[in-house]
Amino acid sequence: MAIRIYNSLSGKKEEFKPVQENAVRMYACGVTVYDHCHIGHARSAIVFDVIYRYFLARGYKVTYVRNFTDIDDKIIKKSQLEGIAWDEIGRKYIESFYEDMDALNILRPTYEPRATQHIEEMVSLVEELLKKGHAYTVDGDVYFSVESFKGYGNLSGRTLEEMEAGARVEIDERKRNPLDFALWKSSKEGEPFWVTPFGNGRPGWHIECSVMSTKYLGSPFDIHGGGKDLIFPHHENERAQSEAATGIKFVNYWVHNGFVNIDKEKMSKSLGNFLLIRDFIKGYHPEVLRLFFLSTHYRSPIDYNEKAIEDINTALYRLYYTLERVGEFENAYHGKELESSEKADEYERMFFEAMDDDFNTALALSCVFDLSKLINRLIDQKDKNAFPIILYTKNVMVKLANILGILCDSFEEFDAREKNRHLKHIGLTADMIQDMIQERLTARKNKEFKRADEIREKFLEKGIVLLDTPKGTEWRIKHILTLKGEQ
């Protein structure tokens, strides 16, 4: 089955036909490095990370580019606020970005260019636009003339007149049209600048991505991605200036992920309701955030709230616990031939069909959960003849989960994090739990079964289930253990 992608430019799903056979050239807008990343950044990073992973899983050679905007008004303002050099601000928050992305298991792209590394190419593009009459200079600033590009507005689906009527742009009487945007900004006193034929200054935001994408991917390239908030003006302007300069198509498929809301309100710094990635992972395993975003189609808006996160956390725990159950007897079958499962193969086929249909991770995830349920049913039947099928099914489950970037940790690590979170909630420590377990073991040894039962009940009141295993007494969090045979 061919991959079909919703193209924001056409407003419909289209069969994916790469420029070069069996190769994908993809660009996703990165961050402006003036602060720590929030969960809105996480959604975009996760969406395009999974698209990247999926193309690789389908056998494509992928060239993936994600940039850093390391010169910008916000960076200069933050530099002045913190009393740190503007380029040091960039380095500081690039490092912060990598800490967050690594925690979220985001694969590194093929190239990660920084805007300040490509000033020469940006100057050349501005010169080309001036030469062709698509740009004009005013007091050292260079503006793109939107009226000079016939297709302006096609990406956002609005006419020039509609955009002018609804535009919220800074009034500048020097511009020929209020929608004209800066290709090059003349420097103010104390600001960083580069020397150019049209004056000392720095690049505008939009010119940066046009240069960095085509330098590494050529024109046209296959996929340009980002959040829906970038369609206008950023991507509209990128497309206009790129095609005006070259006379050829800039991008074949425009892919945009939906917004993140917080408790049904739009997430924004002005409202003070944004959540940093580093704050989220203080309380939850990073894969919880991945699973949360992947449980909704990437183009749809998603509402972040604590109940939804708790539900996702529980669901992820169950997936990890399924793998732990398989691991109890996996070593006994190490190196032996496994037995294929038609049901597992069917779920795998459905997974790829879902992903082929505009990267429908929500439907693909349901296949992973169905595989987990199948494994648990087979384990609960306690039929040793089913073990080779269980292991085969587990391998399929892990393969598909890894395409989505989940189940890449160990159960022990996930379980430990979850236990610590639960203990903090009920006001106990791990040492206190072990003391209570030891007290129960002593009571049982002394045949004080009533006392042992009382201790077990105290655990249950705290939401803790005791499991007597050949390795000793273990404990689990009660509300998570809902699979048959676990309690």
User: What element of type H or E holds 203?
Assistant: strand 201-203
Domain 19-266: give its CATH superfamily: HUPs (3.40.50.620)
Average pLDDT, rounded, for the chain: 92
Continuous H helices in 381-429: 387-403, 411-426
Q: Where do the structural domains in the chain lie, given as residue ranges?
A: 19-266, 306-403, 428-480
User: Which range is most confident: 232-236, 327-331, 379-383, 387-391?
Assistant: 232-236
- Find out whether 199 and 140 touch, Cβ atoms under 8 Å: yes
CA distance linking residue 277 with residue 271, whole number of Å? 18
Give residue 455's pLDDT band: very low, low, confident or very high (50, 70, 90).
very high
Compare 161 and 270 and report the one with higher pLDDT.
161
* Residue 367 to residue 346: CA distance in whole angstroms: 9
User: pLDDT value at position 487?
Assistant: 34
Q: What is the pLDDT of residues 305-317, one digit of tens each?
A: 999 999 999 999 9
Return d(Cα 100, Cα 39) in angstroms, integer.
Answer: 10
Cβ contacts of 421 within 8 Å, gap of 6 or more? 283, 284
Give the Å distances, CA to CA, from 180 to 184, 204, 478, 483: 12, 12, 60, 60
Q: Is the pLDDT of residue 217 over 80?
A: yes
Query: If you average pLDDT over residues 192-201, what whole number do you get?
Result: 94
Are 19-266 and 306-403 the same fold in CATH? no
Strand bridging mode 302-304 / 260-262: parallel
pLDDT tops 80 at residue 481: no
Quick: pLDDT tens for 140-188: 999 999 999 999 999 999 888 877 765 555 567 789 999 999 999 998 8
Neighbouring residues of 288: CB distance < 8 A, sequence distance ≥ 6: 309, 312, 313, 316
**β-sheet with 302-304: strand ranges across:** 265-266, 260-262, 302-304
Per-residue tokens: 349: 């086929």
The DSSP code for 258 is -
Please state the rounded mean pLDDT for residues 195-202.
94
Residue partners of 434: CB distance under 8 A and separation at least 6: none
Over range 218-226, report the average pLDDT.
98
pLDDT of residue 210: 98
CATH of 306-403, one of 1.10.274.10, 2.30.40.10, 3.40.50.180, 1.20.120.640: 1.20.120.640
Q: What is the pLDDT of residue 485?
A: 40
Q: Is the pLDDT of residue 365 over 80?
A: yes
Q: Give me the pLDDT at residue 425, please.
A: 87
Residues 267, 261: contact at Cβ < 8 Å?
yes
CA 62 – CA 23 distance, rounded (Å): 6
Taking the model in full, what pTM does it have? Answer: 0.93
Q: Region 180-209: what's the mean pLDDT?
A: 94
Model confidence at 484: pLDDT above 70 = no
Are 379 and 390 in contact by the 8 Å Cβ rule? The answer is: yes
- Residue 368: helix, strand or coil by DSSP? helix
Q: How many other CB atoms sit within 10 Å of the CB of residue 377?
A: 14
pLDDT digit string (tens) for 49-108?
999 999 999 999 999 999 999 999 999 999 999 999 999 999 999 999 999 999 999 999
Q: 82 Cβ partners below 8 Å, 6+ apart?
A: 89
Q: List phi, psi (to 5°) of 328.
A: -65, -25
